[in-house]
Amino acid sequence: MKIWKTSITLLILANVVQAASYVPITTDNTCLLLKVNDKNRLEQTYYGAKISNVDELSMVDQQQFTAYSTFGTTHVFEAALRAIHADGNTSTELGFLSSSTESLSENVTQTVIKLKDEHYDLYVDIYYKAYQKEDILEQWVEIRNGQKKSIRLTNFASSDLSFNASEYYVSHFHGDWSNEMNISEQQLTEGIKIIDSKLGVRSTQFTHPSFILSLNQPAAENDGEIIGGTLAWPGNFQFAFEVDNMDKLRVLSGANPYASEYTLEKNETLKTPSLLFSYSNEGTGKMTRNFHRWARKYGIKNGDKERAVLLNNWEATYFDFDEPKLTKIIDDAAKMGFELFLLDDGWFGNKYPRNSDNAGLGDWETNKKKLPNGIPYLINECHKRNIKFGIWVEPEMVNPKSELYEKHPDWVIAQPYRERVEQRNQLNLDLSNPEVQEFVFNVVDKILRENPGIDYVKWDANRYVFNSGSSFLPADKQSHLFFDYSKHLMQIMNKISRKYPDVTFMACSGGGGRIDYGSMQYFDEYWISDNNDPIQRIFTQWGSQYFFPTIGLASHVSASPNHISGRTTPLKYRFDIAMAAKLGMDLQPSQMTEKEYKFSQQAIQLYKEIRNTVLMGDLYRILSPYKHNRTVYMYVNDAKSEAVVFNFLVRKEVYPKPPTIVLQGLDPDKKYRLKEINKDPDDWSRFTKYEGKILSGDYLMTVGLHFTMYNEYESLVIQLNEVN
């Protein structure tokens, strides 16, 4: 019948019992099979590898799970949807109405399954987008109140997936400011595990809205069944992993219902965030490449365009700068080979000048004392030297010591009769308020409109929410604040992105606070951590790259000793980890010795030669820093004509036992010339026996490479180029 290939509409009349019908959601290599059973309820019967004849999957049900569970008459576990109807009834029983599938493009199909409560006019539409080549599914839910009076939603998950395996292991990502994206894996046992955020804003700071579920064994890089999921949402989120009394697992994903009961008026619809998920039977490596390929095409702004190498003034000047000092930095940047200069925090505020982080935030007028000729002067200085200009903003926040706060103290998120608790000497603006939404949009719009020639915007957000109250929302809808903030934030981001498609935007958020695909569709780059210490960066970048593409991963060479860790590391080591992502620098040319300057200049030029492979290539993880004293990973371009292999010694060994580095992703039939790059000319190479050798992809992926690394903070980068 091949119904998964065509548009279908199945209409089932109420109270009519009929044979089961199936709705396949397929990509090139995976299949999610849904079933309408003889009681007119939607079930999940299969999710896994796609077989050549999908019809066979409907002959024998592999499993029978509710596809979108509700708090009702028989469900006794955590529910995807819980609603309180106008008459006080707390149960919901959803019956199937229809299903339709359409082709949105050559690569994307969309299936909509319509459900309705069997008594009340409560409608639930489940949306599935299937990205064929990337093997990514995107799911969200739209809940509509058709009743005459309002209803309350206490649970409103985006996705409800179920599994039946012998064992379940979940990996999640956690940390804090300057220590983001650490990986933790544990086995799930009977009961429920919740991974969530209640921070409201920059909500990925402690725990990230991504998970890796491994079936039957702990997660492995190149084998085993893996489901990777990440929520496209910059606000509070929740993943609930519940193993029931029959050892079956249900995974609920979506916006966090904590303190977020949502009232729907008549004919009002709530659209939940999207869960993006992918199945791999070849381990986490295949899952990562699925997400990276999807992201470069659909998930990140300008995912197919080259990124500029930038110099930031922050660690050099912090708030202490003026026109002559910045002009000197711009001149140094151009001479060293940078393509963009970024002016960070401190350029605004007059009545309350932004000379530290305790004043001026919210007053987005150029500081006349520091910059008497304004931003256009700096733009011109950059363009005269053929480099681009970027600027820092934090439009969602305000210092109490500001003109904005004096005029609009009611615009901040705060509870009445409670202390207004500050973080970084600032408060959150209330984006549930339409006036505040317009203000935040106008902040960015005015800066770009009045200063034509700005090429880059670093959008920061340096605190999360305490005291979550809104002076705009009515008393009975205060619990809407968390959800509405994120919804309106993305609307503002969308509006800005559409108006300024050629401006590059970085999602900063104090480092790692807002790295999600809800935000990233409007941003070209993401700042995963304020901590540029290379040892810390190895782990932070390793974690973030499971779901997020290298093309957006901004990584900077900073001063040594590092301003956060205090650790002293070689310049080459700092450069190598930054070159393994999207290269930038906070270390200033004027702070370098002649030798360091020459090395940096050459490293920047080298990066420009390999960045297409690094930023656009497929990532293959070879040795994990969590399991080995050395970490190794590599990028391979689409044509498999070039690869770049990064090696970092994470922990010094007294008696090293060098591992064999078995490469991946190459063409076994091609020949490759091996070359160590970004080498300090005064250092002896560990790679001498391989230097200049021509070896087949088959050799490199079977026999591999074997060389010692044992000095503290030692790194080695290998370039492989096809030889005809």
Q: Which residues are catalytic?
A: 460, 530
Residue 446 contacts by C-beta under 8 Å, 6 or more apart in sequence? 364
Supply the DSSP symbol for 387: -
Which regions of 37-167 does DSSP assign to beta strands (E)?
42-49, 65-66, 81-84, 94-103, 108-117, 122-131, 136-145, 151-156, 159-163
Reduced to 3 states (helix: H, G, I; strand: E, B; else coil), residue 181 is strand
- For tokens 């140094």, what's the residue? 332
Q: 701-710 burial string, b = 16+ CB within 10 Å, else e?
A: eeeebebebe
Q: What are phi and psi of 551, to 5 degrees?
A: -60, -25
d(CA 431, CA 465): 12
Residue 355 contacts by C-beta under 8 Å, 6 or more apart in sequence? 319, 320, 346
d(CA 282, CA 226): 8
Q: Compute how many other C-beta atoms are within 10 angstroms of the C-beta atom of residue 582.
A: 26
As a three-state string, the secondary structure of 483-503 is HHHHHHHHHHHHHHHHHCCCC
Alpha-carbon distances, residue 644 vs 44, 289, 291, 321, 620 (angstroms): 42, 16, 20, 38, 10
The amino acid that residue 310 corresponds to is L
d(CA 681, CA 697): 28
d(CA 94, CA 73): 11
CA atoms within 13 A of residue 129's CA, in its CB half-sphere? 16
Q: What are phi and psi of 448, to 5 degrees?
A: -75, -35
